[in-house]
Structure 1
Amino acid sequence: MNTAPVRGAGTDDVVRMTKVLRTYGNDRNRVVALDEVSISFPRGTFTAVMGPSGSGKTTLLQCAAGLDRPTGGSVLLDGQELTGLDEKDLTRLRRERIGFVFQAFNLLPALDVAENVALPLRLAGRKPERGAVDAVLDRVGLGDRKSHHPGELSGGQQQRVAIARALITKPAVIFGDEPTGALDTRTALEVLWLLRETVHQGGQTAIIVTHDPVAASHADRVVFLADGQIVDEVYGASADRIAERMTHLGAWGDRRTAGYAEGAV
């Protein structure tokens, strides 16, 4: 059983996961997606989560965001324990305290930019404060595009709209699932700089899942998963260092690293 302390735990954690277990299937074909993971994400930080396919990255993000229910353990988000909430309360919390940015921009083509940004508030039965939509669009550099529709924008501009939509509720945390996966390299870098600025100047917390070492290098911290467990984390690492660490993930990588160490003795 994993009895390690919560990684990075502090008094100002926006998200704290404690011994989170997520399994699928029954006793005969049980699959462990997360194996008692404990980790925290402090306020005002930008974390990238990486790992090979099937390592548990997306499951970790979904459990942290209340999109999936853990089989066991605890998830605390902005002081609220998620595991005991019913679907109605989870939906309300997601709308008010969480922003989402996905690889697919998920904008509604019939709505203009301003209407897409205001949508989370409308769904929650609230009206945007006067000037709030304009302010957040200015923040992402699209103040002159508020009357345009998604089809009139480039991919990078659409992702900026998605970020503005994530920010409009002033969330405690922004979750991103491959937020630059559909963008070209230059546009992806612009979006990553925007996310980084949002964290460091706006005080938001951002957690993204990515397979791209360049994208991960823009984060303050990179967390590595393998076989449903956190196996390492690095701070302020370059893309080359992150890519090198990715090649040694999992049991095979551990054995290979151990073999090198024994051969060097």
Structure 2
Amino acid sequence: MNRNKDRRTSVNGTDAVWLDDVRKAYGRGESRVEALRGVTMSFTRGSFTAVMGPSGSGKSTFLHCAAGLDLPSSGSVVLDGQELNGMNENQLTRLRRERVGFIFQAFNLMPALNVEQNVGLPFRLAGRRPDRSSVVEVLGRVGLAERRKHLPSELSGGQQQRVAIARALIMRPAVIFADEPTGALDTQTTIEVLQLFRETAVSGGQTIIMVTHDPVAASAAHRVLFLADGQFIGELEAPTADVVAERMTHLTAWQQTRTTQSTGRGGFR
């Protein structure tokens, strides 16, 4: 990751997402909280990256800023070649709808819609008729082609998460943000979901950015980025679960020490 790259590199398409000196603060005066402190990160197209950090490290704020769900207090974010600063809410909504997919720990499926209808929902939200061939194709990719007429209540938790993944993939977004996507899944289903993420990145050329607390899940990514106390701390290429877990132990202790030493300075807690 080149922290000194030219902005044009990201705008012209080398990176799917680029954060440049991003800061995010909430509140004012003594109640001011800095959630991100000058974060610079880049995510190349077709990569699968895990983002980790102790509780209170700024992971959720990072995801919201990177995905255009929230705008930074300063700094800039480039998402699929689009500079988010200066966009109005309608423009941001359109960008997220057309170029971004979201997967969460809570599956967020519509209980009254069957699998096929849930997956096709992004088409309807965009004012378009669902492309049935695309829906069937993406359901085949996640192993649910035979379940397309089932309701969410008729599926296991792992199957429901696969439906959520298919829904995120259906519009062929440039970037997929996954927030603790395996937190509610059993071990075998977790392995299958993570394998699907890698295949999506490598074969589909889509960029996967996954926030997780699980070293095993993180070890499935091409690399892991670490946040602590609202700052980018470091990264691991070709990570293993043991090395990730060890790094997280050190980061948690480091953040706790900083919190104790700097209580009252308005940092993120």
- Provide the TM-score with structure 1 as the length reference: 0.91
- Counterpart of 1:93 in structure 2 is 95
CA deviations on 1:2-32 (whole Å, 9 max, x unpaired) are: xx5369x766100011011000110222111
Rounded Cα–Cα distance in structure 2 between residues aligned with 1:138 and 1:83: 38
Aligned-residue Cα RMSD (Å) equals 1.9
- Counterpart of 2:17 in structure 1 is 15
CA deviations on 1:152-191 (whole Å, 9 max, x unpaired) are: 0011111110010000111000000000001112211111
- Counterpart of 2:196 in structure 1 is 194
Deviation at 1:60, TM superposition (A): 0.4
Query: Structure 2 counterpart of 1:71, which letter?
Result: S
Query: Structure 1 counterpart of 2:110, which letter?
Result: L
Secondary structure of 2:87's partner?
coil
Rounded Cα–Cα distance in structure 2 between residues aligned with 1:208 and 1:163: 13
Rounded Cα–Cα distance in structure 2 between residues aligned with 1:136 and 1:249: 38
- Counterpart of 1:221 in structure 2 is 223
**Structure 1: which 5+ residue stretches go unaligned?**
256-265
Rounded Cα–Cα distance in structure 1 between residues aligned with 2:63 and 2:243: 23
Rounded Cα–Cα distance in structure 2 between residues aligned with 1:28 and 1:80: 35
Q: Which stretch shifts more, 224-233 or 127-136? A: 127-136
Change (3 A) 1:253 1:6: farther
Query: Structure 2 counterpart of 1:226, which letter?
Result: A
Check if 1:42 corresponds to 2:31.
no
Deviation at 1:129, TM superposition (A): 3.0
Rounded Cα–Cα distance in structure 2 between residues aligned with 1:202 and 1:161: 18
- Counterpart of 2:121 in structure 1 is 119
CA deviations on 1:138-165 (whole Å, 9 max, x unpaired) are: 1111111110110000111111100100
Query: Structure 1 counterpart of 2:174, which letter?
Result: A
Query: Structure 1 counterpart of 2:4, which letter?
Result: P
Judge conservation of contact 2:121–2:130 (CA < 8 Å) in 1: no
- Counterpart of 2:135 in structure 1 is 133
Rounded Cα–Cα distance in structure 1 between residues aligned with 2:239 and 2:227: 16
Deviation at 1:119, TM superposition (A): 0.5
Rounded Cα–Cα distance in structure 1 between residues aligned with 2:122 and 2:116: 12
Check if 1:5 corresponds to 2:9.
no
Query: Structure 2 counterpart of 1:61, which letter?
Result: L
CA deviations on 1:88-140 (whole Å, 9 max, x unpaired) are: 11111111000000000000000000100010110010123351100110111
Query: Structure 1 counterpart of 2:240, which letter?
Result: S
Judge conservation of contact 1:6–1:38 (CA < 8 Å) in 2: no
Secondary structure of 1:211's partner?
coil
- Counterpart of 1:159 in structure 2 is 161
Secondary structure of 1:35's partner?
strand
Judge conservation of contact 2:215–2:242 (CA < 8 Å) in 1: yes
Rounded Cα–Cα distance in structure 2 between residues aligned with 1:216 and 1:70: 26
Deviation at 1:48, TM superposition (A): 0.2
Rounded Cα–Cα distance in structure 1 between residues aligned with 2:54 and 2:256: 14
Query: Structure 2 counterpart of 1:166, which letter?
Result: A
Rounded Cα–Cα distance in structure 1 between residues aligned with 2:69 and 2:156: 29
Secondary structure of 2:128's partner?
coil
Q: Percent of counterpart pairs with the same letter?
A: 64
Judge conservation of contact 1:14–1:77 (CA < 8 Å) in 2: yes
CA deviations on 1:14-65 (whole Å, 9 max, x unpaired) are: 0011011000110222111000111110000000000000000111011000
Change (3 A) 1:254 1:221: farther
Rounded Cα–Cα distance in structure 1 between residues aligned with 2:122 and 2:152: 17
- Provide the TM-score with structure 2 as the length reference: 0.90
Change (3 A) 1:37 1:6: farther
Query: Structure 2 counterpart of 1:150, which letter?
Result: P
- The number of residue pairs the alignment matches comes to 252
Secondary structure of 1:90's partner?
helix
Q: Which stretch shifts more, 130-139 or 213-222? A: 130-139
Q: Which has the higher contact order (CA 8 A, sep 6+)?
A: 2
